[in-house]
Amino acid sequence: MRKQKKVSESYVIMTELVLPNDTNTLHNLMGGKMMHWMDIVSAIAAQKHSNRIVVTASVDNVSFAESIKLGNVVTLEAKVTRAFSSSMEVHIVVFAEDIPTGKKVMSNQAFFTFVAVDQSGKAIDVPEAIPETEEEIRLYDGALRRRQLRLVLAGRMKPSEANELKSIFDLKEDQE
């Protein structure tokens, strides 16, 4: 029987301080630096779930709605949402905090996909991820749809085979 692990066992929290070298000429955190931190925190979550070496297979849309300022404290939280065979989807939520004013905002969230590999880089199966809370179940339920979308976009799945994805567009005329 496939091993099971709770989603909560993969939870990782990482704290960073925005230093001058991390910023652009407007003294805002550079997007690439944020994505680097997201990659690290989510890779650690995937490693905690799989107890394996993991590689980043894909990164879903990351948008930058709020700029993060020099001197802000950035907190990144990551958790596996669902495991498939060798791949795991990880959800990352990012908060930016200005400690002197006490203002804290959620600045970004994203989904990264990791694949567990053996020493030769070959994909290897991982434990099943068991969601418990309402939020974990919601993310788990949406993960299959997101997986199909990213595999279609990567040219690894035919749109006609993406049944879960098709079902959300399969609107009846009176819903259009």
Q: Which stretch binds ligand PKZ (CB under 6 A): 20-28, 69-77, 150-158, 165-173?
A: 150-158
- Residue 37 tokens read as 């931190």
Contact set for ligand PKZ, span 38-57 (CB under 6 A): 39-40, 43-44, 47, 53, 55-57
* x/- letters, 14..33, toward ligand PKZ (CB under 6 A): --------------------
* Interaction between residue 148 and ligand PKZ (CB under 6 A): no
Burial of 121 (0-12, 13-18, 19+ CB in 10 A): exposed
Q: How far is the CB of 25 from ligand PKZ (least distance, A)?
A: 28
Q: Which stretch binds ligand PKZ (CB under 6 A): 14-22, 91-99, 128-136, 151-159?
A: 151-159
Burial 56-74 (b: 16+ CB within 10 A, else e): ebbbeebeeeeebeeebeb
Of the two residues 107 and 147, which places its CB atom closer to ligand PKZ in the complex? 147
- 78 touches 110 (CB < 8 A): no
Query: How many chain residues are in contact with ligand PKZ, going by CB under 6 A?
Result: 23
- 43 touches 73 (CB < 8 A): no
* Interaction between residue 149 and ligand PKZ (CB under 6 A): no
CA distances from 171 to 72, 145, 146, 164, 167 (A): 44, 16, 18, 13, 8
> What type of residue is 48?
K
* x/- letters, 72..91, toward ligand PKZ (CB under 6 A): ------------xxxx----
